[in-house]
Structure 1
């Protein structure tokens, strides 16, 4: 059976880092081989992008993230999919659309950069009310300059505004409100959705 590519995006504090290991464990319990990864990746380009958001801005950061993505796909994601694994990726193209636009890059430019990127089988989008996200960020601390201002409203609203763009660009989204659903319930909802997709794939 071919592999399955699942990406998980959403504003800072939405629970991606909490959810991914739980989701991976759920698929492994169902006898799937799971490959957990993230973007920016743990490769040289990804580490540079992740650790130096204070130094790179605008088009430069958008191009660096895109370059890391294509290397990540070629060296890690595509081989895992070819082996029939379920690849779970913490952040992917939808995060680029949102964060690069917030960084002053025109949306059309970001879309053009990411045209060659493989589309996932499921693009999970996590969300929650801005005040909940801000409370979580205060508790765990900011991971990059995009989270330093303590305001989640612009990021949440941009994810909402870009729903149609994600669909137009080939990202089959599945939204989960982590303010409404605790982690295990969110995992169950995503697992059910992916299980239905796997069933349809096996029937074909």
Structure 2
């Protein structure tokens, strides 16, 4: 399998932290700077991804973790890798860090999750968006919960703790991780921080974790 020539950036963080709006702002910023950008999300928009998203409130624990991982491998094969091979900068809303948090909230052991995802492509840059628990709770109340975890008022604080642990795990795997606090910053300001930390151009990273497949 050939090494990808594009740049793979993932955005993760608690529900209500602003992932989607920040990703949109980041994509627009990078395009203005001349980069070819492809945006995507997990669960993916494939039939498997749509099934996973639609049933995430009813399927729990190890079974849901396996569905998420299966969708990720298919997502890599059919969308992410082809776009990287084309030289795009791929921005993904949720990836491995979310697995290390959301599935841990569902009582799945970290070791099981790491083994399940042992062959996934690692990003050139993993962005963890953070905000204080009170801010997140307020945003969730304003927009409404998207899944069962967001309906638990104790989850935001627990998610922040687990994302700190996920950051340690990813860095231990050699993945560059950027933490961006969105408590007071706008999506455009967060996008500027991420763009400044991103690899300078497609094909410029030759020894990143994403090349070790």
TM-score interval, normalised by the smaller of the two chains:
over 0.9
Q: Is the 8 A contact 2:5 2:202 kept in 1?
A: no
Alpha-carbon distance in 1 for matches of 2:115, 2:161 = 22
Q: 1:95 is matched with which residue: 92, 98, 105?
A: 98
Q: CA deviation at 1:99?
A: 0.5
1:163 aligns with 2:156: no
Q: 1:52 is matched with which residue: 36, 55, 70?
A: 55
Alpha-carbon distance in 2 for matches of 1:170, 1:203 = 14
Give deviations 1:3-43, integer Å, cap 9, x for gaps: 10000000111100111111000011011111110000001
Aligned to 2:136: 133
1:176 aligns with 2:180: yes
Give deviations 1:29-79, integer Å, cap 9, x for gaps: 011111110000001111111111121000000000000000000000000
Give the secondary-structure state (helix, strand or coil) at the position aligned to 1:7.
Answer: strand
How many residue pairs align between the two structures? 202
Q: Is the 8 A contact 1:4 1:84 kept in 2?
A: yes
Give deviations 1:138-172, integer Å, cap 9, x for gaps: 00111111111133111111111332212113332
Aligned to 2:152: 149
Alpha-carbon distance in 1 for matches of 2:200, 2:161 = 31
Alpha-carbon distance in 2 for matches of 1:184, 1:114 = 32
Aligned to 2:80: 77
Alpha-carbon distance in 1 for matches of 2:205, 2:53 = 40
TM-score, with structure 1 as normaliser: 0.94
Q: How does 1:5-24 map to 2 (within 5 A)?
A: 5-24=8-27
Alpha-carbon distance in 1 for matches of 2:7, 2:123 = 8
* Runs of 5+ consecutive residues of structure 2 not aligned to the other structure: 207-213
TM-score, with structure 2 as normaliser: 0.90
* Runs of 5+ consecutive residues of structure 1 not aligned to the other structure: none
Q: CA deviation at 1:199?
A: 5.9
